[in-house]
Amino acid sequence: MASYSFLRVAVSFIFIVTYVFANDTLYFPKDFLLGTATAAYQIEGGWNESGKGESVWDWWTHENPSLIRDGSNGDVACDSLHKYKEDVQLLSDLGVDFYRFSISWPRILPTGYANVINQEGLNYYKNLINELLAKDIKPFVTLYHWDHPEIFERMGGWTNEMMVEWISDYARVVFKELGPKVKYFMSINEPNVLCGEGYGENVKAPGKNLGSPGVFLCMHNVLKAHAKIYHIYDKEFRKYQEGTIGIVLPCSGALPKNPNDTAAVNMHFQFNCGWIAHAIFSKTGDYPEIMKTHVADNSKLAGFSKSLLPELSSEWVQYIKGTSDFFGLNHYTSKIVETVPRMKGEGWYDFSGVKQSIDPSWPKSASDWLRVVPDGFREIIKKISKEYDNPPIYVMENGFSDKCCTFDHLRISYLYSYIKAMLLAIYEDGCNVKAYAVWSLLDNFEWGAGYTERFGLVNVNFTDSNRTRTPKWSTIWYKNIIATRKLTSIFNLPTAISVL
Ligand code: PNW
């Protein structure tokens, strides 16, 4: 008798919860695309297989295992080089509209240069694309997610302007060989993270530790490279391939410490997102004005005769402007920002002029930089839309890290709150968001954190040579969202049963 009442209470509770959330339901707009994302070095493995050359990440992790938290590397990673069919099956089970993955430059061009094309490497991507298309999944292809050929690093990497030419030659090969079956290309993933952590610091490959001058120089060359890649696609391939191409920028959110301090929010935006975005998406082009004056001031105070921010000639400004068909947005978290009063004769807070902090009450993830702040997501989407005249926004990464386990309710709650914020930006703020990808399909090599931080919808067992994949609860949840095209925070029982 007692257990019967318990059952009744439990069932009623489920109905009440369902009802409450059902009333809270938001639908995705028609034609909205849902997918997941990965990157070559983080999942492929096969670092010296299939005729692949050495990448800067192969070199850096082999040379500096102590800089990776668990001393690991991407030599095997998820072994997707061999298990791509299984990955595509997982994607197909999820029901995604698209899959974002990146191409390993040295797998296609082992010498780095376009003089030698490695057919075996190329075939890997051709097979992957065919497999995706056979399951009705659109390939979203990133040309470059930080793993350039090591040979070019020995010549200065992104501090050498020749990289613009080398990556352009590579891009041309990819467009020619893979472009006939790909409608969505992304040039370069997150210039700021690559240049800031790889050239400014020693946190990511190539770990150059060059400080601000190195970051400015790297960003300058990456921006030019992106523009050149865009023009190559636009002039030589678009007519026949009828695809789109854009850049992917990491834009973290900013909430003002003092509610009236919109200047701090703007300053943070321009130094974070606007640095590259202004040059590409604004009407005037070039680096943001506020950034030019600010860096010039700080450079002078530091005793330099010229600004550390290199100048873009008017030819380059024109050449770069308008070179993205969509705004590729990677977003994970936010900061609290405040304007720092400037003392006479002293530089502002680093080169950005804002002090950043976090609210300790924001829920944590397994990554120290990632706190859960969904409002910041809505704000950044609104800011991008306002700054650049409502461009189509493709969210190409959004996700949450934990340490382990397949019952990942914190990931579900993160994704729910962030997708809700995005849908509100669409419906209530009129923003033009067209696509959304969860980072990531699989647990994978999380750069300096090795395998200690897990972002996957699918668990990967890295101690098992088979790299066994096990869908987490978030897979079940996301599958239901994709199938119903509506956002609910609860599990759908039939979906759960069909997956388990
Ligand atoms: C992305 N932030 O980088 C990368 O594109 C992925 O390769 C990576 O695995 C993923 O994030 C998770 O780290 C970012 O501090 C790193 O806001 C940090 C930030 C944003 C993006």
Would you say the CB of residue 446 lies under 6 angstroms from ligand 1? Answer: yes
Number of domains present in the structure of the chain: 1
Q: Is the pLDDT of residue 5 over 90?
A: no
What pLDDT, on a 0 to 100 scale, did the predictor assign at position 154?
A: 98
AA letter at 49? E
Instruction: Cite the DSSP H helix spans in 73-210.
Output: 80-94, 105-108, 119-134, 150-153, 162-178, 191-193
The model's pLDDT over 242-293, given as tens digits with 9 standing for 90+, comes to 999 999 999 999 999 999 999 999 999 999 999 999 999 999 999 999 999 9
The model's pLDDT over 168-212, given as tens digits with 9 standing for 90+, comes to 999 999 999 999 999 999 999 999 999 999 999 999 999 999 999
The model's pLDDT over 133-158, given as tens digits with 9 standing for 90+, comes to 999 999 999 999 999 999 999 999 99
Q: Which domain holds residue 434?
A: 34-246+369-499
Ligand 1 atom closest to Cα of residue 439? 10
Ligand 1 atom closest to Cα of residue 447? 9
Q: Is the pLDDT of residue 2 over 60?
A: no
Residues belonging to the active site: 397
Nearest Cα residue to atom 17 of ligand 1: 252
| Tokens of residue 81, six digits | 């080089």
SS3 163: helix
Decide: 333 and 370 in contact? Cβ < 8 Å: yes
Tell me if 262 is assigned to some domain: no
* Domain containing residue 161: CATH number: 3.20.20.80
The model's pLDDT over 36-60, given as tens digits with 9 standing for 90+, comes to 999 999 999 999 999 999 999 999 9
Tell me if 316 is assigned to some domain: no
Q: Is the pLDDT of residue 424 over 50?
A: yes
Tell me if 357 is assigned to some domain: no
Centre of ligand 1 to C-alpha 449, Å, is 11
- Name the residue of 140, 439, 452, 453 whose CB sits within 8 Å of the most ligand 1 atoms, as the mutation to test its pocket: 439
Decide: 391 and 432 in contact? Cβ < 8 Å: yes
Centre of ligand 1 to C-alpha 335, Å, is 15
For residue 414, the tally of other CB atoms under 10 A from its CB is: 23
Nearest Cα residue to atom 21 of ligand 1: 250
Tell me if 475 is assigned to some domain: yes
Which residues are within 8 A (CB) of 452 and not within 5 positions of it... i.e. 6 or more apart?
Answer: 69, 70, 366, 403, 446
The model's pLDDT over 6-19, given as tens digits with 9 standing for 90+, comes to 444 443 444 344 44
Centre of ligand 1 to C-alpha 370, Å, is 9
> In terms of pTM, does the model score above 0.85?
yes
Calculate the CA 188 to chain-centre distance: 10
Tell me if 318 is assigned to some domain: no
Distance (Å, whole) CA 210 – CA 217: 10
Tell me if 351 is assigned to some domain: no
Would you say the CB of residue 330 lies under 6 angstroms from ligand 1? Answer: yes
Distance (Å, whole) CA 354 – CA 481: 38
- Name the residue of 188, 365, 397, 438 whose CB sits within 8 Å of the most ligand 1 atoms, as the mutation to test its pocket: 397
Burial 38-73, CB ≥16 within 10 A → b, else e? bbbbbbbbbbeebbbbbbbbbbbbeeeeebbeeebb
Distance (Å, whole) CA 343 – CA 358: 24
Tell me if 13 is assigned to some domain: no
Backbone angles phi, psi at 107, to 5 degrees: -75, -30
Distance (Å, whole) CA 170 – CA 103: 11
Would you say the CB of residue 332 lies under 6 angstroms from ligand 1? Answer: yes
User: In degrees, to the nearest 5, what angle opens at C-alpha 14 toward C-alphas 9 and 20?
Assistant: 125
Would you say the CB of residue 193 lies under 6 angstroms from ligand 1? Answer: yes
Distance (Å, whole) CA 96 – CA 381: 23
SS3 340: coil
SS3 185: strand
Nearest Cα residue to atom 15 of ligand 1: 369
Tell me if 275 is assigned to some domain: no
- Better-scored residue on pLDDT, 240 or 3: 240
Decide: 454 and 53 in contact? Cβ < 8 Å: no
What pLDDT, on a 0 to 100 scale, did the predictor assign at position 347?
A: 77
| First vs last C-alpha separation in the chain | 31
